[in-house]
């Protein structure tokens, strides 16, 4: 029997897919499950995959790689899609797809499969990654070809076939979680006028339920990478985990937006990304202090490009490599600490410092110890205004002849 490796999440779509594959295509299924910090019950997912008919289940803990090689580069780039989405789902997809490819090559499979729909972004990210890393592999996407039209029909199929799915009929959300955040779609959220019901949120509490007393957090960066939380050195996985808990408890990181999908659909999205929002804010704050004016502006333009690249599945491309090279140079001085106050959903900077700061109090001060040469400013302005003065004089001549 031919074998296929399926990217398995333990959720509704991919559990139904295992059963469907066996029935329709008569393939042996290897369920590949990557741990990106989604806090899923992985032993339960393993049991579910087997109960749905998987031959083998492979579970890989990719959390460290995820943070080091995917999340930190995205953070260094300040990658945020369409002014809101911290790309939590998008930046994990190339890693899961790479794991899928590795598993397929290891077991000599010709096929890989994913549980993405035909109208979403994730199919693009999976298949672009497979194309980049192992173009000889063939991809099957059961959700694009099977008979189920709604999630309700899938739930019915699962219940009828004894697949124990984690979704209840009255809570039909599609949720994707990893360390960098949660993406929530479907159900009542498809009405953009409706406020997300209380039960949609997983990682944050509502601002009105958050403590009345704010909390301060201090993030230390070394060359653009967060290395300490509140003075304690820790690895990225732990730092993001702890920060998610602190910021989530203060209602920081809720995002409700309408975004443009790669296939051209506008989509209402609810995200929760407490640590991502705090770290992206802190990182930008430290860059304001340590990057030159020109580098900061060029970088801001490139961060849009970088966000689009992650969103549209172009992680394994020459462009990403080239942008990473530019960003690496910009990050060499992004070292220092940022203090932020978290309070009922807000995240505000209260202080920053860096051994490589370009801020010079002696030049900036309006008080004691001013080292700025005020007289030199007069000469500077004579030259600076040369062309503006010429334009002013010309306007006078024009108006003198009756021009308006
Ligand atoms: N709209 C987001 C994106 O394109 C989230 C996708 C969420 N995926 C999911 N299976 N729920 O990255």
The 10s digit of each residue's pLDDT in 308-322 is: 999 999 999 999 999
Give the pLDDT mean for 345-359: 98
Catalytic residue (choose from 48, 93, 125, 352): 93
170 pLDDT band, cuts 50/70/90, is low
**What are the structure tokens assigned to 196, written together?**
């997300």
Q: Are 242 and 198 in contact (CB under 8 A)?
A: no
Helix (H), strand (E), coil (C) string for 337-357: EEEEEEECCEEEEEEEECCCC
Strands lying side by side in the sheet with 336-343: 232-233, 225-229, 215-222, 336-343, 346-353
What's the pLDDT at 27? 87
Q: Are 32 and 99 in contact (CB under 8 A)?
A: yes
168 pLDDT band, cuts 50/70/90, is low
CB 116 near ligand 1, within 6 Å: no
Q: Cα(71)–Cα(373) distance, rounded to whole angstroms?
A: 44
188 pLDDT band, cuts 50/70/90, is confident
What is residue 393's three-state secondary structure?
A: helix
β-strand pairing of 28-35 with 3-7: parallel
Q: Cα(341)–Cα(383) distance, rounded to whole angstroms?
A: 44
What's the pLDDT at 166? 73
If residue 321 lies in a helix (H) or strand (E), which one and from where to where? helix 318-330
Give the pLDDT mean for 360-365: 94
Catalytic residue (choose from 9, 13, 46, 151): 13
Catalytic residue (choose from 122, 125, 151, 354): 122
Query: CA separation (Å) from 146 to 118, 140, 167?
Result: 11, 11, 19
What's the pLDDT at 165? 80
CB 89 near ligand 1, within 6 Å: yes
What's the pLDDT at 169? 61
Taking the centre of ligand 1 as the mean of its atom positions, its distance from the CA of residue 80, in whole angstroms, is 14
Taking the centre of ligand 1 as the mean of its atom positions, its distance from the CA of residue 237, in whole angstroms, is 22
Contacts of 384 (CB under 8 A, 6+ apart): none
Is residue 186 over pLDDT 90? no
Catalytic residue (choose from 28, 47, 51, 174): 174
CB 121 near ligand 1, within 6 Å: yes
Give the pLDDT mean for 189-203: 92
CB 9 near ligand 1, within 6 Å: no
- What is the residue-averaged pLDDT of the chain? 95
Taking the centre of ligand 1 as the mean of its atom positions, its distance from the CA of residue 269, in whole angstroms, is 8
Domains and CATH numbers, the chain: 3-171 (3.40.50.620), 177-353 (3.90.1260.10), 361-400 (1.20.5)
- Per-residue pLDDT of 218-260, as tens digits, reads 999 999 999 999 999 999 999 999 999 999 999 999 999 999 9
- Per-residue pLDDT of 272-310, as tens digits, reads 999 999 999 999 999 999 999 999 999 999 999 999 999
Residue pointed to by tokens 């290897």: 30
Q: Cα(277)–Cα(256) distance, rounded to whole angstroms?
A: 13
Residue located nearest, by CA, to atom 1 of ligand 1: 269
Residue pointed to by tokens 């909390």: 215
Q: What is the pTM of this model?
A: 0.95
13 belongs to the catalytic site: yes
By C-alpha distance, which of 95, 122, 240, 253 is closest to 176?
Answer: 122
């Amino acid at each position: 029997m031919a074998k296929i490796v399926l990217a398995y999440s333990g959720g509704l779509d991919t559990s139904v897919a295992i059963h469907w594959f066996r029935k329709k295509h008569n393939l042996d299924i290897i369920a590949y499950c990557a741990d990106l910090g989604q806090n899923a019950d992985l032993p339960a997912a393993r049991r579910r995959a087997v109960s749905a008919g998987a031959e083998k289940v492979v579970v890989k803990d990719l959390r460290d790689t995820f943070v080091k090689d995917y999340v930190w580069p995205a953070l260094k780039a300040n990658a945020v899609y369409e002014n809101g989405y911290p790309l939590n789902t998008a930046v994990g997809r190339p890693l899961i797809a790479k794991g899928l490819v590795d598993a397929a090559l290891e077991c000599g499979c010709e096929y890989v499969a994913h549980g993405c729909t035909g109208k979403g972004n994730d199919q693009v990210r999976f298949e672009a990654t497979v194309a980049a890393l192992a173009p000889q592999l063939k991809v099957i996407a059961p959700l694009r070809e099977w008979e189920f039209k709604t999630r309700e029909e899938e739930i019915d199929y699962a219940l009828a076939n004894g697949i124990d799915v984690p979704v209840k009929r009255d809570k039909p959300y599609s949720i994707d979680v990893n360390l960098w955040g949660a993406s929530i779609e479907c159900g009542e959220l498809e009405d953009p006028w409706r406020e997300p019901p209380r039960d949609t949120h997983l990682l944050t509490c509502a601002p009105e339920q958050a403590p009345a007393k704010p909390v301060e957090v201090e993030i230390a960066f070394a060359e653009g990478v967060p290395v300490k939380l509140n003075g304690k050195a820790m690895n990225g996985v732990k730092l993001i985990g702890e920060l998610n808990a602190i910021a989530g408890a203060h209602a920081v990181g809720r995002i409700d937006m309408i975004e443009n999908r790669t296939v051209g659909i506008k989509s209402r999205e609810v995200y929760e990304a407490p640590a991502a929002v705090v770290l992206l804010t802190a990182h930008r704050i430290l860059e304001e202090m340590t990057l030159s004016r020109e580098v900061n502006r060029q970088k801001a333009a490139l961060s849009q490009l970088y966000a689009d690249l992650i969103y549209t599945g172009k992680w394994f491309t020459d462009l990403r490599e080239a942008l990473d090279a530019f960003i690496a140079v910009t990050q060499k001085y992004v070292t220092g600490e940022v203090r932020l106050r978290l309070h009922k959903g807000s995240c505000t900077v209260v202080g920053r410092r860096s051994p490589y700061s370009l801020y010079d109090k002696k030049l900036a001060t309006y008080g004691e110890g001013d080292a700025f040469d005020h007289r030199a400013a007069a000469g500077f302005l004579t030259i600076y205004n040369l062309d503006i003065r010429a334009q002013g004089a010309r306007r006078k001549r024009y108006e003198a002849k009756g021009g308006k």
